[in-house]
């Protein structure tokens, strides 16, 4: 019964989106052709496209087709843009962490007497994480101009929303005894938070922030599609101008950087934060 | 009660609590904040202040819905439905591809180290690229429209789901498989009756979650021409029709919330737990 409904809805949705087997069959050769072009070049003076790499020329100079240097001849530009992408991720994660940290305390019911404050902060966080960040970046490009600033703010806002919710959940599970202890000697609300809560939750917060950093590196690579800086802006340009071999070069670099960041961040999580609090934070 | 002398006495009794944490800690913090301020300078954060009036202009225009009667509501709602349909079709295609791939990528189904390595790297490659990049490539290869979006969702989500399915298969209880093997079942029968019943709840739960997250993602695929509400949004932003931009965002928020609710209900009905 459920299976039938799932299949029925699939066919209705497929018809709605004009998704038909004929179109796919017609499209697949073109996809193959396109991916073939991504890995082939047409050097000056030669009529036929050749593979982007060939073993005898692999380590040739910049002017020798089919060498790594020829394929990645704009590596300097790419690397500086990749570095900008990572810097965008660092800054937006840090800003989002700061804002989420500040907002997570008023959003936790057990810390705040007034239900209104909790409700308003929670709705604010929900709104921040619900608006797609690429849409936000597209909108912010209008006031802030083309460039990384709009992207950083858009990712920071989204990070605030997602981290704020997670921080809130950690806050709700704190041990209340240190707080009672500080209250009994007359600590103010800020002192309760600073000395009673923060030491308990900070490892979890940092662990979440690192996980978020990995996600933000991915986001920074695409936020440039709407003109908001980073390697995405260059990728959109070369795809638009059909500079095929540069598309594959940039895509490979993006894949590499994502894998490298994931590995580094995993190492940091395991080494500095410890397996125990990491498990507590993700489960 | 607690005078200055008491505090001094406490300080003397527990020196380790009151000791300054030392300069390396402050140097590290200073370095981190210095670097963040350098990045803010690098990315022109002064414009946040100087361009704030422009942001207010947009916000004011967004909140002014006096022209609501003249908007093309039919087109916007159709695009929104198209977005959800794209997410559903794309995710379902990904599920169909990911179930066999997930079994093949599991170490306890095919115990070949090299094979395992290459299937896992294939999954990493598919999900390492964002859906938006896949969409841009498929728009170039297959033309504008929802098909490019569906293909982008299907390809990227295949990588995600195949990895999760493979991990689910790797953590199953061996005893059921052994039991079926002992009565002479073949390879397919072992998977069907030994493995599948154990991993099905995980698969259903993951699929529902994927439909949710892809409905979110699909709203932006139209920005690169891959169909759905994103295309309408991008048109409205380019002609500065900010009131309609706000309306579309509200539309997106409502649809996503509705899908989340529906998926929570389905999860409860199908596997009996609201979250997992």
pLDDT in tens, B94-125: 999 999 999 998 888 888 888 888 888 888 88
Q: Would you state the pLDDT for residue B273?
A: 62
Interface with B, mutate which of A143, A154, A254 (most B CBs under 10 A): A143
Taking only the tens place, the pLDDT of each residue in A12-66 is 888 888 888 888 888 888 888 888 888 888 777 676 777 778 777 777 777 777 7
> For residue A24, which residues of chain B lie inside 8 Å, CB to CB?
147
When pLDDT is averaged across residues A82-111 and rounded to a whole number, the result is 94
The model's pTM is: 0.85
pLDDT at A97: 96
pLDDT tens digits for range A69-93: 888 888 899 999 999 999 999 999 9
Q: Which residue of B has its CA nearest to A86?
A: B39
Residues in B closer than 8 angstroms to A235, CB to CB, are 133, 136
Predicted pLDDT of residue B2: 55
Q: Considering only CB atoms, which chain A residues are within 8 Å of B55?
A: 140, 143
Residue of A23, A83, A132 to mutate, testing the B interface (most B Cβ within 10 Å of its Cβ): A132
For residues B201, B207, B213, B215, the Cα torsion angle rounded to the nearest 10 degrees is -140
What is the fold, at CATH topology level, of the domain defined by B70-271?
MetI-like fold (1.10.3720)
What pLDDT is attached to residue A96? 96
Structural domain boundaries of chain B?
4-50, 70-271
Q: Parse chain A into domains and list their residue ranges.
A: 2-71, 75-282
User: A40 vs chain B: nearest CA distance in angstroms?
Assistant: 16
Q: CATH second-level architecture of A75-282?
A: Orthogonal Bundle (1.10)
Q: B219 and A135: CB-CB below 8 Å?
A: yes
Helix (H, G, I), strand (E, B) or coil at A146: coil
| pLDDT given at position B153 | 94
- What is the overall mean pLDDT for chain A? 86
Query: Where does chain B have alpha helices with state H?
Result: 4-13, 15-18, 23-42, 46-50, 52-63, 73-105, 113-128, 131-142, 146-170, 174-182, 187-189, 196-221, 229-238, 242-271
* Nearest-neighbour CA in chain B from A53: distance (Å): 20
Q: Which CA distances in Å does B214 have to A88, B84, B108? A: 25, 8, 30
What residues in chain B have per-residue pLDDT under 50? 276
Yes or no: say if B193 and B179 are a contact pair by the CB < 8 Å rule.
Answer: no
Nearest CA in chain A to B226: A17
Q: Which of A13, A131, A225 sits opposite B89 (nearest CB)?
A: A13
What was the pLDDT predicted at A242? 85
CB pairs under 8 A between A and B: 147
User: Measured between alpha carbons, how far is B164 from B160 in angstroms, rounded to an integer?
Assistant: 6
Percent of chain A predicted with pLDDT > 70 = 95
Flag whether pLDDT at A276 surpasses 60: no
Cβ neighbours of residue A81 under 8 Å, at least 6 residues apart?
A230, A231, A233, A234
- For residue range A166-225, list pLDDT tens digits in order: 999 999 888 889 888 998 998 888 888 888 899 889 888 988 999 899 899 999 999 999
What part of A 5-34 touches B (C-beta under 8 Å)? Answer: 6, 9-10, 12-14, 16-19, 23-24, 27, 30-31, 33-34
Q: Is the pLDDT of residue A1 over 80?
A: no
Closest Cα in chain B, distance from residue A279 (Å): 16
Distance CA A129, CA B27 (A): 34
Confidence of residue A273 (pLDDT cuts 50, 70, 90): low
Structural tokens at position B140: 């170039």
What does the pLDDT read at residue B89?
Answer: 93
Eight-state DSSP code of residue A147:
S
- ipTM of this complex prediction, to 2 decimal places: 0.82
- Write down the pLDDT at residue B20: 65
Closest residue in chain A to residue B56, using alpha carbons only:
A143
Whether A135 and chain B come into contact, CB under 8 Å, resolves to: yes
Q: What is the per-residue pLDDT for A26?
A: 81
Min Cα distance A136 → chain B (Å) is 10
Q: What is the predicted pLDDT for the residue at A6? A: 84
């Amino acid at each position: 019964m459920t299976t039938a409904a799932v299949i029925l809805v699939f066919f209705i949705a497929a018809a709605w989106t004009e998704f038909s087997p004929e179109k796919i069959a017609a499209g697949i050769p073109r996809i193959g052709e396109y991916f073939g072009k991504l890995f082939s070049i047409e050097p000056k003076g030669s009529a036929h496209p050749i593979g982007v790499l060939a073993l005898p020329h692999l380590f040739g100079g910049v002017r020798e087709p089919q060498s790594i240097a020829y394929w990645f001849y704009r590596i300097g530009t790419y690397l500086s843009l990749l570095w900008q992408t990572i810097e965008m991720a660092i800054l937006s994660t840090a800003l989002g962490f700061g804002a989420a940290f500040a907002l997570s305390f008023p959003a936790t019911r057990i810390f705040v007497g007034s239900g209104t404050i909790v409700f308003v902060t929670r709705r604010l966080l929900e709104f921040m994480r619900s608006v797609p960040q690429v849409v936000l970046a597209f909108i912010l490009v209008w006031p802030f101009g083309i460039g990384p600033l709009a992207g950083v703010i858009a990712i920071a806002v989204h990070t605030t929303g997602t981290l704020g919710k997670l921080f809130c959940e950690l806050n709700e599970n704190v041990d209340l005894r240190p707080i009672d202890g500080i209250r009994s000697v007359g600590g103010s609300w800020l002192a309760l938070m600073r000395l009673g809560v923060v030491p308990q939750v900070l490892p979890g917060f940092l662990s979440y922030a690192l996980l978020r950093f990995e996600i933000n590196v991915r986001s920074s690579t695409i936020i440039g599609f709407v003109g908001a800086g980073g390697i995405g802006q260059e990728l959109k340009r070369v795809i638009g101008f059909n500079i095929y071999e540069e598309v594959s070069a940039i895509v490979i670099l993006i894949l590499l950087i994502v894998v490298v960041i994931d590995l580094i961040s995993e190492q940091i999580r395991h080494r500095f934060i410890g397996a125990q609090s990491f498990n507590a934070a993700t489960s | 009660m607690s005078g200055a002398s008491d505090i001094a006495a406490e300080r003397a009794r527990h020196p380790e609590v009151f000791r300054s944490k030392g300069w390396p800690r402050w140097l590290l913090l200073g370095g981190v904040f210095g670097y963040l301020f350098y990045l803010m300078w690098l990315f022109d954060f002064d414009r946040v202040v100087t361009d704030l009036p422009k942001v207010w202009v947009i916000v004011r225009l967004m909140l002014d819905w006096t022209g609501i009667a003249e908007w093309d509501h039919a087109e916007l709602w159709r695009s929104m439905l198209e977005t959800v349909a794209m997410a559903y079709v794309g995710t379902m295609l990904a599920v169909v591809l990911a179930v066999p791939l997930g079994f093949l990528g599991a170490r306890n189904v095919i115990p070949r180290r090299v094979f395992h390595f290459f299937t896992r790297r294939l999954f990493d490659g598919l999900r390492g690229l964002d859906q938006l990049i896949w969409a841009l490539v498929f728009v170039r290869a297959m033309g504008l429209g929802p098909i490019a979006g569906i293909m982008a969702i299907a390809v990227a989500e295949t990588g995600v789901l195949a990895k999760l399915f493979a991990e689910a298969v790797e953590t199953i209880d061996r005893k059921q498989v052994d039991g079926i093997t002992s009565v002479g079942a073949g390879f397919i029968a072992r998977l069907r009756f030994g493995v599948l019943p154990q991993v099905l709840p995980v698969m259903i739960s993951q699929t529902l979650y994927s439909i949710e997250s892809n409905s979110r993602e699909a709203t932006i695929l139209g920005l690169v021409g891959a169909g759905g509400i994103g295309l309408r949004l991008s048109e409205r932003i380019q002609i500065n029709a900010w009131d309609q931009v706000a309306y579309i965002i509200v539309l997106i928020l409502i649809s996503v919330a509705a899908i989340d609710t529906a998926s929570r209900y389905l999860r409860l009905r199908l596997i009996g737990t609201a979250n997992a």
